[in-house]
Structure formats: C-alpha cells, structure tokens
Amino acid sequence: MFKTLDSCSVHIVGLGLMGGSLALALRDHVARLTAQDIEPGILIAAQETRVIDAAGSTAEADIVILATPADHIIRLIPTLELRPGALVIDLGSTKTRICDQLDRLPDGVLAVGGHPLCGLAENGYRNAIGTLYRRARFVLCETTRTTAEACALAEALVRACQAIPIWMDRTQHDHLTAITSHLPHLLSFGLMRLAMQVATEDNNLYELAAGGFDGATRLARTSESMVTGMLSTNAEQLRAVTARLRDQLDAIDALLDDPGALQAELAMIVAARRSYTADYGERLIT
C-alpha cells in the first residue's frame, strides 16, 4: 500500500521564498516537517515560530524537497543521504539537467522533477507566505525513479499546497519556460544593464523612467543566485529562443518606416495579449 502524505516526514532543503512558503502551506498536511538552510538564523526562526518541527536531515525523511537554485540542485543530488523508498522532489526552474541527475539516484529511491510557477520579486524566507502556491500551476516531470507511488505522493503534495499539477516532459518544460520565464528574465536584466550604462552618460535617464520601465525591469530585482541557476542550466534552449526573439525585433524594426503596416502588425499582437488576459487572468509579480 502506498504511503499517504499525512503519514510522511518531509524535509525541505533551502528555506527561501519557495521552500519557506511550501513549509507554511504543508505544515498541517504532513506528519513531521524539518528543514535545513545555509543561514542558521532562518532555521532558528522557523523552529521558534513552529513553521518546522526541528532541523532534521534528508536521511530521516520520507519526502525530501530541494528548494535551492537550479545549479545548486544539480550539484546537490549526487550527495544526498536518503532512506530507501524516500521520494525526492525538486522545485528548480529548469528541468532537463536536474531530471538527468534524478535519473541517476540509487535504485529504490523515488524521484519526481518539479517546478511551481509562482514567485515574488522579493525573495527570501522573510517574504514567504503560505498562499504563494495557491492556484499556481506546478509542473511535474517523470524520471527513471518515478513509480506509481511517487506520482501519487507528488500529486498529493502539490494539491496540499493548493497548486495544480501538470505532468510534462522535461525538454518540453525547458523549451516553453525558456520563452515564458527565462527569456523575460534575460531581457529584464539586459535592459537594466543598458540603463546602468546610459545613466553614466546622462544622469537624467532615471528621471524619464516611469511605469513602463519599472515593469520591464522588475524581474531584474530577483535574487541573482536564483536567476543564475535558471539561466545557466538552460543555456542551450535560452540561446535558441533569444535568437528567435531577435528575429521578432527585426520583423518589427522592418516596419518602422511604414506606420500603416506597423499598426496592423501591432494590432494583432495587442489582440493576442488581451485574449491571453481574458483566458488566463493577469498576474502581478510585486
């Protein structure tokens, strides 16, 4: 018979925004909740406020959740001390290289790749909220260590934090999120890097910035370790979609001297963006 989530001891590696928010969402749904973090002060705070039961370790847990940046997760997986039958789930923002590592875990250990599509521009445990995962899509990727029990437990965990599970191939995930997430981060950082250069040439630059600039550079407030993991572990797909984005800029550029054609082209894009809002709502990263 399969384990049920409420009988499991869960250990979270990394109590940042994602791990901390998951802890808050899971605390009443699991038998025991433990965690580790490189900052001792955060662990102490989480224990004192009873968000977690104790510090604990991966070796004692039925479910181990990896909630550190993607590049760190890749290095961490081969070093994990795990109980036979334990389930490993990660929250990394890229999936191919992480799932390739999960595939190599010892026989008898279970593993599912995960990526919850939620976040806030302000990272860290102090910004963690128990409702962060609510209504978010939570991608799950099969590995060679994914059994029926692993599927059931992973889905139970996703539903316990009120997110929506979506099973998807790791390569497909990395291709699609390269466009919906990684490229937007790259553009935001690239635009802010340009602004920093131009601001040294003309210090009136930021005086002329308003909501459009703020929104376009908002992702450049995201913690550099998280973004480093995201961009560096999906470099190939990111480069491919960046090349395609350059083609889009060329296509619009070619219309700049023909306002009629430009307006017709932009109208199609506005219509698609508004229809996207109508279908999916509008989410703010604040």
Positions in 114-133 near a copy of itself (CB under 8 A): 117-119
Q: Of the ranges 13-21, 45-53, 78-86, 221-229, which one interacts with a copy of itself (CB under 8 A)?
A: 221-229
67-86 residues in contact with a copy of itself (CB under 8 A) are 71
**Candidate residues 78, 79, 148, 282; the one interacting with a copy of itself per rule CB under 8 A:** 282
Residue numbers 34-73 binding a copy of itself by CB under 8 A:
71
Q: Is 28 in the site for a copy of itself (CB under 8 A)?
A: no
Selected from 88, 139, 154, 161, the binder of a copy of itself by CB under 8 A is: 139
Q: Is 252 in the site for a copy of itself (CB under 8 A)?
A: yes
Closest approach, Cβ 226 to a copy of itself, in A, equals 9
262 counts as binding a copy of itself under rule CB under 8 A: yes
Closest CA to 182 of 101, 88, 267, 96: 96
- Identify the residue among 48, 198, 237, 278 touching a copy of itself (CB under 8 A): 198
Say how far apart CA 163 and CA 280 lie, in whole Å: 15
Give CA–CA dist 15/36, Å, rounded.
Answer: 7
Q: Supply the minimum distance, in Å, between the C-beta of residue 140 and a copy of itself.
A: 13
220 binds a copy of itself (CB under 8 A): yes
Among 8-16, 143-151, 152-160, 196-204, the segment contacting a copy of itself (CB under 8 A): 196-204
Q: How far is the CB of 209 from a copy of itself (least distance, A)?
A: 4
Q: How many residues does the chain have?
A: 286
Please identify which residue in 47, 127, 162, 242 interacts with a copy of itself, judged by CB under 8 A. Answer: 242
Answer yes or no whether residue 148 interacts with a copy of itself by CB under 8 A.
no
Question: Tokens 């875990």 sit at which residue?
Answer: 105
Amino acid found at 74: I
- Closest to a copy of itself by CB, 44 vs 251, is 251
Number of chain residues interacting with a copy of itself (CB under 8 A): 96
Whether residue 110 contacts residue 149, with contact meaning beta carbons closer than 8 Å, is answered with yes
Q: Least CB distance from residue 130 to a copy of itself, whole Å?
A: 18
Per CB under 8 A, contacts with a copy of itself among 150-179 are 166, 168, 172-173, 175-177, 179
Among 1, 148, 249, 278, binds a copy of itself (CB under 8 A): 249
Q: Which of 57/171 has CB closer to a copy of itself?
A: 171
Determine if residue 18 is left, alpha or beta; phi over 0 gives left, psi from -120 to 50 gives alpha, anything else beta: alpha
